[in-house]
Amino acid sequence: MLEALNTQPADKILALVAQFKADPRANKIDLGVGVYKDSEGKTPIMRAVKAAEQQLWEQEQTKSYVALAGDPGFADAMIGLVLGAEFPRAGVAAAATPGGTGAVRQAFELIQMANQDAKVWVSDPTWPNHLSILKHLAMPTRQYRYFDAQTGAVNLSGMLEDLKKAKPGDIVLLHGCCHNPTGANLRLTDWEHVISLMQERGLTPMVDIAYQGFGDGLEADATATRVIAKSMPETIIAASCSKNFGIYRERTGILMVVAGNDKSIRVAQDNLAYLNRQNFSFPPDHGARLVTMVLGDKALRADWEAELESVRTGMLALRSQLSAELQRLSGSDRFGFLADHRGMFSRLGTTPEKVAQLREDHGIYMVGDSRMNIAGLNAQTIPTLAAAIIACDI
Ligand code: PMP
């Protein structure tokens, strides 16, 4: 039987990790995989998470199953974090999932169960796993223009023009904040245009929010998601706790469905639990419980927010430094977009050949589409990167 299987394409980013490890050069720089790193290149456990973990170890009395949709306390806490404390809880169905990826996967499955013909519109480019999962599920997919390589900003008119071709019932997949892989984001006024178009054309938004707190702050990063959820009759939200709580390997995420009527919420809740049951039964609890403890305890929450804020401002400082250094070396403002981007990533907007040249000649590793993990930099490596970008004539 097994010989009938085809080998699967290697994950490009994970292949890059292996290539980086094998590179003997001491001054190599890893801007590949999407994991936050501090100035020493470490991915620390956040203080509040560690403290919650200690409390949990002391207090937890059982490892028995929780519930198919996970701990309701986790759902309440995450609805508060993403949609805001005032958001009516009764208007949201929610289930814990293994990471944001689990939420994305099951959001697609929910869409497929509801409407086989729905096309999912994704940004060009988007997180490659969106496309990969959609392909795996054989779901009809379309791309809308998003990134303008000339300006490094969002091509709003191209995006709107493409989305005008969507049919009622189609799904628009949007990054709630900190777009991956480009770092380019819509402004609030731009979001309003997108929302009006979705309303006019009867489209359903699916928001993937994986970096809340990494862009302009915890509240600001959720603004677009909140406006969408308030404005549209139905909204699907896939949220990840991997980055903002630094609990990547705990696999903590949540799938939410926001709808205006009680019957829709009841049936959505039922289907979210059903999907968990089919795919893995009970979702992982450890990370979800830590998140619930941190968000529910005043002191832990304040400490978490403070640490997250220093992560965010640290990345912003790296952006300004890189943009300023490139301005100094190039004598132009053409890299100003790096300071305007938000989140962990920026797309430099250059060719795969130049990306290969940066790797081969300068030991600088970024993803082939020229996505850089800004958190892979520090004050010492920024001048090296900037000089290499200029030397490669980018
Ligand atoms: N969505 C986007 C856009 C992401 O970048 C990521 C993480 N790479 C995820 C979802 C899911 O992350 P995880 O499954 O690790 O929570």
189-221: per-residue pLDDT in tens? Answer: 999 999 999 999 999 999 999 999 999 999 999
Mean pLDDT calculated for residue range 94-98: 98
Is the ipTM reported for this complex over the cut 0.95? yes
pLDDT of 277 reads 98
What band does 15 get if pLDDT is binned at 50, 70 and 90?
confident
Using CA atoms, how far residue 367 sits from 282, 371, 372, 380, in Å, is: 35, 5, 7, 21
What band does 14 get if pLDDT is binned at 50, 70 and 90?
confident
pTM given for the model? 0.97
What band does 11 get if pLDDT is binned at 50, 70 and 90?
confident
pLDDT digits (tens, 9 = 90+) for 57-79: 999 999 999 999 999 999 999 99
DSSP symbol at 260: S
What band does 33 get if pLDDT is binned at 50, 70 and 90?
confident
Is the Cα dihedral 326, 331, 334, 340 positive or negative?
positive
What band does 10 get if pLDDT is binned at 50, 70 and 90?
confident
Mean pLDDT calculated for residue range 1-29: 91
Determine the Cα–Cα distance for residues 152 and 82; give it in Å rounded to an integer. Answer: 27
Q: How far is the CA of 25 from the centre of ligand 1 (A)?
A: 30
Q: How far is the CA of 59 from the centre of ligand 1 (A)?
A: 30
What band does 388 get if pLDDT is binned at 50, 70 and 90?
very high
pLDDT of 12 reads 83
Mean pLDDT calculated for residue range 145-165: 96
E strand map for the chain: 29-30, 92-97, 120-124, 141-145, 147-148, 153-154, 171-175, 204-209, 234-240, 253-259, 345-347, 364-365, 371-373
Ligand 1 pocket mutation pick from 36, 97, 101 by most atoms within 8 angstroms of CB: 101
Mean pLDDT calculated for residue range 34-47: 94
Burial 368-380 (b: 16+ CB within 10 A, else e): ebbbbbbbbbbee
Per DSSP, the three-state class of 194 is helix
Q: How far is the CA of 132 from the centre of ligand 1 (A)?
A: 13
Domains plus CATH for the chain? Answer: 12-45+308-391 (3.90.1150.10), 65-296 (3.40.640.10)
Percent of the chain's residues with pLDDT above 70 = 100
What band does 184 get if pLDDT is binned at 50, 70 and 90?
very high
Residues with CB under 6 A from ligand 1: 34, 99-101, 104, 127, 175, 180, 208, 210, 240, 242, 248, 253
pLDDT of 13 reads 86
